[in-house]
Amino acid sequence: METIVVVLAVILWLGLRQTAWTPVSPSGTLRMPLILTAAGAILLFTGQQEEQLTATGLGMLVVELVVGAAVGAAIGLIAHLRPITNQAPAAHVVGRHPERETPAFEARNGIWGLLLWLAMIAGRLGFMFWIGSTGVAIVSAPAAIILLLGVNRLSRSAVVLIRAGREPRTAAA
């Protein structure tokens, strides 16, 4: 039951962050996706779910993760990038971590990114109910959702970081 509450909290938190501007820096952009991916994998492959691992379940999990990564890459491609203004660095990084380099860009997914992400969540729920009827329990585990969200955010973050690295640095840092 606690895992379901955590999954719902993560979905709500990530959903709210879809439309907020966030600085684009490797440490900040990759931190939460890496935590979610590691937590999902640890929860999924240890404890009770470990006994439920079958070739069919693993295959379905891989397909789900590939789709999640593809959706994340698409969200990263449609995310909006903009240079950080002179006032924004203090709000983003400098005030909290003066030792870190100030990022030159900030990004947000916008409404289309949010809608694409919500479509992925809806598809995941439909997939979970279909899989539940086949008896493959590992893919319907809440930990698989956390792993999917982590892989999705990791893919999105990688694409945004690549795009930001290719943009000319016009921001005043």
Percent residues over pLDDT 90 in the chain: 35
Mean pLDDT of 134-139: 73
Counting every residue written for the chain, the total comes to 173
Least confident range from 20-34, 76-90, 109-123: namely: 76-90
Cα torsion at 161, 163, 169, 171 (round to 10°)?
Answer: -70
C-alpha span between 147 and 39 (Å, rounded): 7
Question: What pLDDT score does 173 carry?
Answer: 42
| Domain count for the chain | 1
Mean pLDDT of 37-56: 78
- Angle of CA points 131, 69, 82, to nearest 5°: 140
SS3 assignment, position 46: coil
Instruction: Return mean pLDDT, the chain.
Output: 82
Instruction: Please indicate, yes or no, if residue 112 is contained in any of the structural domains.
Output: yes
Instruction: Please indicate, yes or no, if residue 140 is contained in any of the structural domains.
Output: yes
Question: What pLDDT score does 100 carry?
Answer: 62
Both tokens of 130, joined, read 């279909």
- pTM here? 0.81
Reply yes or no on whether the pLDDT at 69 is more than 90: yes
Distances (CA, A) of 142 to 24, 69, 77, 137, 156: 29, 18, 28, 10, 21
Q: How confident is the model at residue 172 (pLDDT cuts 50, 70, 90)?
A: very low
Instruction: Please indicate, yes or no, if residue 171 is contained in any of the structural domains.
Output: no
Range of the domain at 96: 2-166
Instruction: Please indicate, yes or no, if residue 23 is contained in any of the structural domains.
Output: yes
Instruction: Please indicate, yes or no, if residue 172 is contained in any of the structural domains.
Output: no
Least confident range from 3-12, 63-72, 164-173: namely: 164-173
Instruction: Please indicate, yes or no, if residue 83 is contained in any of the structural domains.
Output: yes
84 or 4: which carries more pLDDT confidence? 84
